Chains A and B, each alone.
Chain A
Amino acid sequence: MIGGVAHNMMGLAVHPRRFDFVLPDAPDLPFDERAELVPYEAVRASLLAITQHYLDLMAIVGATGRGRIFHIEAPPPYADEARMLMDVPWNYFTGMQREVSPRYLRYKLWRLHSDIVRQACARMGITFIERPIEAVDVDGFLRDDYYLDTMHVNEGYGALVLRQMQEVG
């Protein structure tokens, strides 16, 4: 797995100019009423720009590898902002608001990120392995059982992914 963090760069902590956007393929997802709308195309371009580094790296790996290459989708976001708030190492976030972005902004950014990477994988002939469905709740968020911290999942999630790998391998 290469990358998988670009969506967190844009939306883990609340931006000083609080923003949200509308996903064209899921326009009815909740919108943060306190946020400024940023056009979808702009959010996508911005996210693509910070993902590009990882995509370039993936292309290099793809060009040098001999066997099949798989990309494991980044884990979905965790919904509970209050729990996440306790886990964020705020000492790293100097000068930033100590607030975790609303779950649906993080969810939309994660979906957009997955969409960008999935398309890149298709172009490069890389198999994109989606998140294990058992780890996701009915709304698409990471289940409690698999949460480790604000940006990482636990060993249980890893076990599910290993099982996926065995199945596709």
Chain B
Amino acid sequence: MKHPYADAPPYRRWSRAVAAVPPGDVDPVVSLPFRISTSDRIVTAGSCFAQHIARHLQQNGFAFLVTEPAHPLVPADMVEAMNYGIYSARYGNIYTARQLLQLLRRAYGRFTPRDDVWEKDGRYFDPFRPSIQSGGFSSLREYRLDREQHFAAVRRAFEEMDVFVFTLGLTECWVSRDDGAAYPVCPGTVAGEFDEAHHAFVNFSVEDVVADMTVFFAELKEVNPQVKTVLTVSPVPLAATAEDRHVLVSTTYSKSVLRVAADMLARQPNIFYFPSYEIVTGAFSRGDYFADDLRSIREDGVEHVMRLFFRHATDRTDKPVAAEAVADPFLNDMRKVVDAICDEEKLDQD
């Protein structure tokens, strides 16, 4: 009787699937049980690595669903600075599963954090997306109207998407002691003020992440029963740890928890794991996919991930050219009209 490894395909053997393969050809995906078509509406969210995924999907002609696009009046050089189009809506980076769950609940009015707004020098900051608008909002009313508009866009994204690509980023998180509201970054770092009486550090376990994501999927299913989710784990190491230990040790803990949680979650229907973490951090690349800071991901690492993503998770291989941005046509037309009317008036002067 043969042992279980005797007929194992090459991809199950390190010597053949990793050691003997040129770095750029290592392909740990093997197969995915579904394909994303160019007509599927895709929503992306997660830690900063998710921005790369969103960018490549857009550049390659996929139906990247943006429910909170910049108004054409927003000058082109301000669009990115105001975080339009980075993700499907202006939620900024979502580092933890708890944050994702609370975003859903806040958008549907099921959770209203007591920490409502941070004010400094007449500028207003959203505690749950403090860097979404550079320098903050210009008035409290603008902040409230924008948040209402944002939540409507989040609801639309959740309800209309066919595919959700979510990148798990961190387990370390700061929460409000008052009601458990999860902040994307520690209060006082980007905006707001840190207050030990109100802010607490948590480092989520596998059970925490799985529980939060499971509740998220259940609540998402109520508004979108058909959605398929692709989970990835960000390969970007922690910038800093709040644990009193080496940041490398904390990074290993965080990524291990997220990787295990992703594996457990991917055993549920319509949830799939895509190994971008392995592609970037695997020893086969000998660290070449990391930039000089040993944290940022080089573009060739991102391209390796996306090449395999397009090969295995989508039904297209060609790469259309990204559309060029155009100035607001309304403004151009109005300029002509107003100039014409004014010029015409001159003809009617005594």
Taking Cβ atoms with an 8 Å cutoff, the residues of A that contact B are 5, 8-10, 12-13, 15-17, 19, 21-24, 27-28, 31, 36-43, 45-46, 49-50, 89, 92-96, 151-152
Contact status A46-B149, CB under 8 Å? no
Residues of A within 8 A of B341 (CB): 89, 92, 151
Query: In the complex where A15-B330, A37-B146 touch, is A42 in contact with B338 (Cβ < 8 A)?
Result: no
Contact status B338-A41, CB under 8 Å? no
Which of B30-38, B73-81, B197-205, B225-233 participates in binding chain A? B73-81
Contact status A17-B71, CB under 8 Å? yes
Contact status A152-B71, CB under 8 Å? no
Contact status A17-B72, CB under 8 Å? yes
A12 to B333, CA, bound (A): 12
B2 contacts chain A at the CB level, 8 A cutoff: no
Q: Determine how close the nearest CB of chain A comes to the CB of B203; give it in whole angstroms.
A: 35
Query: In the complex where A5-B342, A12-B334 touch, is A42 in contact with B138 (Cβ < 8 A)?
Result: no
Number of interface residues of B (CB under 8 A): 33
Contact residue among B78, B331, B345 (Cβ-Cβ distance under 8 Å from A42): B78
Contact residue among A10, A19, A27, A43 (Cβ-Cβ distance under 8 Å from B139): A27
Residue of A12, A22, A95 with most chain B CB atoms under a 10 A cut-off: A22
Query: In the complex where A22-B142, A39-B138 touch, is A93 in contact with B73 (Cβ < 8 A)?
Result: no
Q: Determine how close the nearest CB of chain B comes to the CB of A157; give it in whole angstroms.
A: 14
Which residues 33-82 of B have a CB within 8 angstroms of A?
Answer: 70-75, 78, 82
Contact residue among A19, A24, A31, A36 (Cβ-Cβ distance under 8 Å from B138): A24
B166 contacts chain A at the CB level, 8 A cutoff: no
Contact status A151-B338, CB under 8 Å? yes
Residues of A within 8 A of B140 (CB): 27
Contact residue among B78, B137, B141, B330 (Cβ-Cβ distance under 8 Å from A16): B330
Contact status B331-A24, CB under 8 Å? no
A-B contact count (CB 8 A): 98
A39 to B74, CA, bound (A): 8
Q: Determine how close the nearest CB of chain B comes to the CB of A132; give it in whole angstroms.
A: 21
Contact residue among B145, B146, B331 (Cβ-Cβ distance under 8 Å from A9): B331
Residues of A within 8 A of B294 (CB): none
Contact status B71-A36, CB under 8 Å? yes
Q: Determine how close the nearest CB of chain B comes to the CB of A89; give it in whole angstroms.
A: 6
Contact residue among B70, B73, B139, B339 (Cβ-Cβ distance under 8 Å from A22): B139
B335 contacts chain A at the CB level, 8 A cutoff: yes
A42 to B72, CA, bound (A): 10
Closest to B139 in A: A27
4 closest A-B pairs by CB: A22-B142, A27-B139, A27-B141, A24-B138
Contact residue among A17, A37, A45, A49 (Cβ-Cβ distance under 8 Å from B145): A37
B340 contacts chain A at the CB level, 8 A cutoff: yes
B133 contacts chain A at the CB level, 8 A cutoff: yes
Query: In the complex where A17-B71, A39-B133, A45-B78 touch, is A27 in contact with B142 (Cβ < 8 A)?
Result: yes
Contact status A24-B149, CB under 8 Å? no
B337 contacts chain A at the CB level, 8 A cutoff: yes
Query: In the complex where A10-B334, A89-B341 touch, is A38 in contact with B145 (Cβ < 8 A)?
Result: no
